[in-house]
Structure 1
Amino acid sequence: MWRELLAIGRHAGSGGYRRFAWTGADADCRAWFAAQAAARGLALEVDRNGNQWAWLGDPEAGGAVVTGSHLDSVPDGGAFDGPLGVVSSFAALDELLARGVTFTRPLAVVNFGDEEGARFGLACVGSRLTAGKLTVEDAHRLTDAAGTTLPRAMEAAGYDPDTIGPDPERLARVDAFVELHVEQGRALDLSGDPVGVAGAIWPHGRWRFDFRGEANHAGTTRLVDRHDPMLPYAETVLAARREARLAGAVATFGKISVEPNGVNAVPSLVRGWLDSRAEGGATLDAVVTAIEDEARTYATAHGVDLEVVRESFTPVVEFDHALRDELRRLLGTGRDAELRVPVLGTGAGHDAGILSGSVPTAMLFVRNPTGVSHSPAEHAAEDDCLAGVTALADALEGLACK
Structure 2
Amino acid sequence: MWRDLLPVGRDEDTRGYRRHAWTGADADCRAWFRDQAESRGLTYELDRNGNQWAWLGDPLAGDAVVTGSHLDSVPDGGAFDGPLGVVSSFAALDELRHRGAEFAKPFAITNFGDEEGARFGLACVGSRLTGGHLTREAAHRLTDADGVTLPQAMERAGYDPGAIGPDPERLARIGAFIELHVEQGRALDLSGDAVGIASSIWPHGRWRFDFAGEANHAGTTRLADRRDPMLPYAETVLAARREARLAGAVATFGKISVEPNGVNAIPSLVRGWLDSRAAGQDALDRTVTAIERAAREYADAHGIDVTLTRESFTPVVEFDHALRDELARILGLGADRPGLAVPVLGTGAGHDAGILASAVPTAMLFVRNPTGVSHSPAETAAEDDCLAGVRALADVLEGLACK
- Between the aligned partners of 1:160 and 1:305, the Cα distance in structure 2 is 40
User: Superposition pairs for residues 249-398 of structure 1, below 5 Å?
Assistant: 249-334=249-334, 336-338=336-338, 339-398=340-399
Q: For residue 85 of structure 1, what is the aligned residue in structure 2?
A: 85
Q: Any idea what the Cα deviations from partners look like across 1:178-203, whole Å, max 9, x if unmatched?
A: 00000000000000000000000000
Contact 1:335 1:390 in 2 (8 A): no
Deviation at 1:334, TM superposition (A): 3.0
Q: Is it true that 1:148 corresponds to 2:161 in the alignment?
A: no
3-state SS of paired residue (1:322)? helix
Deviation at 1:102, TM superposition (A): 1.0
Deviation at 1:335, TM superposition (A): 5.8
User: Superposition pairs for residues 218-233 of structure 1, below 5 Å?
Assistant: 218-233=218-233
Contact 1:196 1:364 in 2 (8 A): yes
Unaligned residue ranges in structure 2 (runs of 5+): none
Say how many residue pairs are matched.
Answer: 402
Q: Is it true that 1:165 corresponds to 2:131 in the alignment?
A: no
Deviation at 1:340, TM superposition (A): 3.5
- Between the aligned partners of 2:162 and 2:296, the Cα distance in structure 1 is 41
Deviation at 1:399, TM superposition (A): 0.3
Q: For residue 177 of structure 2, what is the aligned residue in structure 1?
A: 177
Q: For residue 139 of structure 1, what is the aligned residue in structure 2?
A: 139
3-state SS of paired residue (1:206)? strand
Contact 1:193 1:340 in 2 (8 A): no
Q: Is it true that 1:34 corresponds to 2:29 in the alignment?
A: no
3-state SS of paired residue (2:196)? strand
- Between the aligned partners of 2:137 and 2:336, the Cα distance in structure 1 is 48
3-state SS of paired residue (2:48)? coil
Q: For residue 235 of structure 1, what is the aligned residue in structure 2?
A: 235
1:47–1:336: structure 2 CA closer, same or farther, 3 Å change rule?
Answer: farther
Deviation at 1:310, TM superposition (A): 0.2
Q: Is it true that 1:53 corresponds to 2:79 in the alignment?
A: no
Q: Any idea what the Cα deviations from partners look like across 1:99-152, whole Å, max 9, x if unmatched?
A: 001110000000000000000000000000000000111000000001011011
- Between the aligned partners of 1:395 and 1:127, the Cα distance in structure 2 is 23
Contact 1:129 1:166 in 2 (8 A): yes
3-state SS of paired residue (1:252)? strand
User: Superposition pairs for residues 12-23 of structure 1, below 5 Å?
Assistant: 12-23=12-23
- Between the aligned partners of 1:202 and 1:101, the Cα distance in structure 2 is 36
- Between the aligned partners of 2:281 and 2:334, the Cα distance in structure 1 is 36
Query: Normalization by structure 1: what TM-score?
Result: 0.99
Query: Normalization by structure 2: what TM-score?
Result: 0.99
Q: For residue 96 of structure 1, what is the aligned residue in structure 2?
A: 96
Percentage identity across paired residues of the two chains:
81
**RMSD value over aligned CA atoms?**
0.7
Unaligned residue ranges in structure 1 (runs of 5+): none
1:335–1:206: structure 2 CA closer, same or farther, 3 Å change rule?
Answer: farther
Q: For residue 209 of structure 2, what is the aligned residue in structure 1?
A: 209
Deviation at 1:9, TM superposition (A): 0.1
- Between the aligned partners of 2:106 and 2:189, the Cα distance in structure 1 is 35
AA in 2 matched with 1:123: A
